[in-house]
Amino acid sequence: MTAPPWLEVLDETLAACRTHGREDLALRLLRRRDRPSGGTRVAVLGFPKQGKGYLVNAVLNAPVCAVGDAPTPAVPVEIGYAAEPAATLIGRSDERIPVAVERMTGEIGARPTGSLRRVEVGVPRELLSAGLVLVDTPAIGDPRSARTAAALDVLADADAVVLVSDATTPLNSAELALAHHVRTWCPHVILALTKIDVCPSWRAVAEKDRTALSDAGIDARVLPVSATVRQAAAKTGDQELNARSGFPELLSWIAEQVARPAERSSALLAAVSVRAAAAELVETLRTRAEVAGRDAGVDQTTLLHRAQRKADDLRKRNTRWQNLLSDEIADLLSDAEFDLRERTRHIVEVIDETFDRGDPIKVWDEFGPWLGDTLTKAVETNYAWAAERAEWIAQAVAVSFGEQYDQPDLQFVDADAELIGEVRQPRIEGFKIGQKMFTGLRGSYGGVLMFGLITNISMGLSMFNPISAAAGVAFAAKTISDEGGMRLQRRQAVAKMTAQRHVDDVFLRFSKDCRDAIRGVQRKLRDHFTALADELSEQLARERETIIAGSAERERRTVRLRREIERLASLHQRAGELGLLAGRAPRELPA
Amino acid sequence: MTEDVRGLLADAFSLYRGSPRAAGLLREALDHLEQPLRVGITGAAGTGKSTLAAALGDWPTRALRDLALLDDPPPGTLTDATVRLFRHLEPDELAAALPTPRSAFARQTAVDTILVLARADETGAGRIDALLTAKQLARRAWREDPLCSGSQGVIAVAGQLAYGARAFDDDEFELLAAFAAVPREELERYLISVDSFTDPAFPGPVSVDTRRSLVSRFGLFGVRLALTLIRTGCDSRLKLSAELVRRSGLGELRDTIAGCFAARADALKARTAVVRLETVLQAEPRPHGDRLAARVERFAATAHDFRELRLIADIRGGRTALSGDPAEEAVQLLGAQGTAPEERLGLAPDADPREVYAAGIDAVRRWRHEAERPDRPPAERAAAHVVVRSAEGLLALFA
């Protein structure tokens, strides 16, 4: 047997779909090509709650599909002929799990989403015995959902489609879009208008749907049906009621689909699918060509000008940020030093005050730790403040450089306050009892001597007499107190000096450290932004080269796309001719 | 609460003196504080908004007296609460219609929506148990679907039936009673579809046009239900009307609107104003706007009404561990049946104040005990705390 003429066109289109990354279209064509001959597949499609399940059950006169508030399966259910009722779940990797028909819905629901591919149901119905397979599909919903994809996927091997929409409202835009899509992929479509038993205005709705479909250029009949009426008719065997249900008409349409010669049917389906795939692919390519065209619309000179302007900007920015950085760092250096000096000056003032009045011996135990703490705090505050300013400078520079770039991680060195040693207690002597005695003796000796002489001369008393002795005692006390005052002053001076020197040391050391840290920041920022500037200017240079080289490449790409579109158009045309041969006038490629 | 909001708006006003647009928006919100509560009825085309609005609006009840129902308000209209209609509670449909509010305050205090599964009589191909099925679907969606859980209720309503039942006259009742008198077997085949109901071969002298008008007013489901009800004892117009309204879900919807919206009119209006303020703050930032934003946050945190409404919805939607009598008592104390102390405590409206006080003390004690039981999970204790706060609030009226 020679290969049918449509196979070649189909294969060529399939290859084109693969080349242009539309694997989904390719898969559909593949399924169309490899579809087993014989049998007619009629898919039932529609949005949720339109009565799909009721319709299928009424066609079969058997409760096969889940209806009402029961959740509809998220996979297609294929209903074919079998002598005994049987249901098989087909898993992701084509494993077959037989289940009882009546437990089917529950079994499907119990399995995790995505673990099933489809369900096969066999029922002993004469209607199906000639090889008819009815495919109940998941409800169409969110266009990105897996459920919708699974439903639309059924189109790839459907011979005919029953679209389901209920009579409560006319077709909405989403339903019309679905009808359009279905009609593109499948030549035989009918719209079943369900629930006409409960909708008083179903005739008006049917008329509206007819108009809407023909206005959209979709060639599909509208068939009002009622599953409820059909069920009631079946119960009573009322032929007239059955006729009113609309189902006899639907069944005769289905019979027409089954009766169509298989050979002609495959050719037509192949032709339609090729046309649909080619049209979708052309749409994709056109979008791509448009994008390419938009780039090409801007000519090379404009692009070069743009690049030049960018380079100028970069240069200007370079000077700006460098100036900013050096100015700010200089300010920060002097400010930080001034700040630390201010802080230490205050400390020195307190030291002076303390030792103007206090006795170092008594207060040192308290004073030493205080001085340490205060200095630590001063240094730390100073550092924190400098670090904050440095951070701010980094930001300011980054902004003047262009906000979109990163800032370097600054890591301003923390003040190492541990380095502030404890101020050592100066060697200051107390006034011990021996010293006091000695000093007292010295004073009393002078007093005795002096008063001894005076009394000796004026009163003729002996050198050592009670008066002299009393004077001696008085002198001794005075001398001790004088000597104490002098020692205190000396102690105070020493303490002051020691403390001040310590403060000075700390100041010198940390103002140096802080300066170094600031310089470090400056270097880091400079390196970072210089590197960034270099990188940007390199990028610009590359961009210019690409612009110069790129326009030729773009031109080539556009031509290639255009040629590809032409080729697809011709495939589309050839498929159309094949379709014509198969007995049907195809519509033209939508512009 | 209203005073706080006035203060907030006044401060915002001075901030936005320069912008006529923002000032206009704020002015509108400020004026609205004096006006009746506005409840918008929204939904896609064909969900029956106008029918439902008419069924609710022509209902002279005290509960809905100070309330303006807006049938499908255009976007941008200031509304305080929304009744949103859906044909089906499908995730796609819900997700498309329920956008998350942009303002943080609006999200925290989202107590302004009731979802309605509209045209409930069409559920399950219009079988006689359609309304029950629809009710179950609504209840399940409220308990299980996270998209529905943020609302104050998901209620199945047969709008057309409700409207017909609310407004039908003695002639129509006589007509229905006459149909019901026809032997069931004889009538059955004429009730299969609208076409058969309006078939000229219909037994009895009633004209085709009359039958057509009847079925377009009540729907085929409504006619069937009415006949069944007449046969089973609803033998007067008033009885039938009441029973149909009850079954249509309209009563439940009205009670929810009354309890969650009308009784909280001031809180909801204040909320509307603050949401508006937050939108303005977002749309036109001002240097000191963050202070106002902080005050808005504080307002949201302290407004107990919103917490009460939130908790009522959570308890009724089955999202707390409370159930049975304690749940009933909790929602009552939270003010679901009215916010007056007597109503919260389930006492007669003219109860002795001493009795009210004693019952209040009792409620505080019991719920405080619940709130402090260490064997309960924290969420449950937090819920009990809200109830305690409500009970304390009603005692505060006696202070």
**B283: which 2 tokens?**
């749309």
Cα dihedral A337, A339, A342, A343 sign: negative
Q: CB of B302 within 8 Å of any CB in chain A?
A: no
Query: How much is the pLDDT for A464?
Result: 67
Query: How much is the pLDDT for A566?
Result: 86
B328 vs B305: CA distance, rounded Å: 18
Averaged pLDDT, groups of 10, chain A, 591 residues long: 74 86 85 79 90 90 76 84 91 89 83 86 90 90 81 86 92 91 89 92 94 92 93 89 92 90 78 84 82 64 79 83 87 87 87 83 81 84 84 81 63 60 59 60 63 63 69 72 77 84 85 85 85 85 78 76 85 80 52 38
Query: How much is the pLDDT for A439?
Result: 65
Q: Per DSSP, what are the bridge partners of residue A96?
A: A90
Beta-strand relationship, A96-99 and B67-71: unpaired
Q: Per DSSP, what are the bridge partners of residue A163?
A: A45, A191
Cβ of B126 within 8 Å of Cβ of A195? The answer is yes
Cβ of B194 within 8 Å of Cβ of A197? The answer is yes
Supply the DSSP string of B257-309, one letter for each residue: IIIIIGGGHHHHHHHHHHHHHHHHHHHS--TTHHHHHHHHHHHHHH-HHHHHH
Residue with tokens 């000519």: A299
* Partner-chain residue, chosen from B88, B198, B221, that has the shortest CB–CB distance to A49: B88
Which residues in chain B show pLDDT less than 70?
Answer: 125-126, 399
Q: CB of A578 within 8 Å of any CB in chain B?
A: no
Q: Per DSSP, what are the bridge partners of residue A77?
A: A119, A136
A368 vs A505: CA distance, rounded Å: 15
Query: How much is the pLDDT for A396?
Result: 82
Which residues of chain A neighbour B45 with C-beta distances below 8 Å? 169
Q: CB of A238 within 8 Å of any CB in chain B?
A: yes
Q: CB of A269 within 8 Å of any CB in chain B?
A: no
Which of A390, A429, A425, A438 is closest to A410 using CA atoms? A390
Q: What is the CB-side half-sphere exposure of residue A497 using CA atoms within 13 A?
A: 9
- Closest-CA residue of B relative to A52 is B125
Buried b (16+ CB within 10 A) or exposed e, A17-35: beebebeebbebbbebbeb
End-to-end Cα spacing for chain A: 38
Q: CB of A49 within 8 Å of any CB in chain B?
A: yes
Which residues of chain A neighbour B216 with C-beta distances below 8 Å? 200-201
Q: How many degrees, rounded to 5, is the angle at CA A476 between CA A475 and CA A482?
A: 85
B96 vs B305: CA distance, rounded Å: 29
Q: Per DSSP, what are the bridge partners of residue B156?
A: B117
A232 vs B196: CA distance, rounded Å: 12
Cβ of B136 within 8 Å of Cβ of A236? The answer is no
Which residues of chain B neighbour A209 with C-beta distances below 8 Å? none
DSSP-derived 3-state class of residue B108: helix
Cβ of A238 within 8 Å of Cβ of B215? The answer is no
Q: CB of B219 within 8 Å of any CB in chain A?
A: yes
Cβ of B133 within 8 Å of Cβ of A68? The answer is yes
Is the ipTM, as predicted for this complex, more than 0.95? Answer: no
Query: How much is the pLDDT for B399?
Result: 67
Query: Number of CB pairs < 8 Å for A and B?
Result: 80
- Rounded to two decimals, the pTM is 0.67
Q: CB of A240 within 8 Å of any CB in chain B?
A: no
B301 vs A32: CA distance, rounded Å: 62
Query: How much is the pLDDT for A380?
Result: 84
- CB distance A72 to A129 below 8 Å: no
Three state DSSP letters for B167-194: CCCHHHHHHHHHHHHCCHHHHHHHHCCH
Cβ of B189 within 8 Å of Cβ of A200? The answer is no
Cα B20 to chain centroid distance, Å, stands at 36
- CB distance B320 to B382 below 8 Å: no
DSSP-derived 3-state class of residue A98: strand
Q: Order of strands, edge to edge, in the sheet holding B67-71?
A: B67-71, B37-43, B81-86, B113-117, B154-156
Which of A47, A49, A54 to probe by mutation at the B interface, max B CB count within 10 Å? A49
Query: How much is the pLDDT for B44?
Result: 86
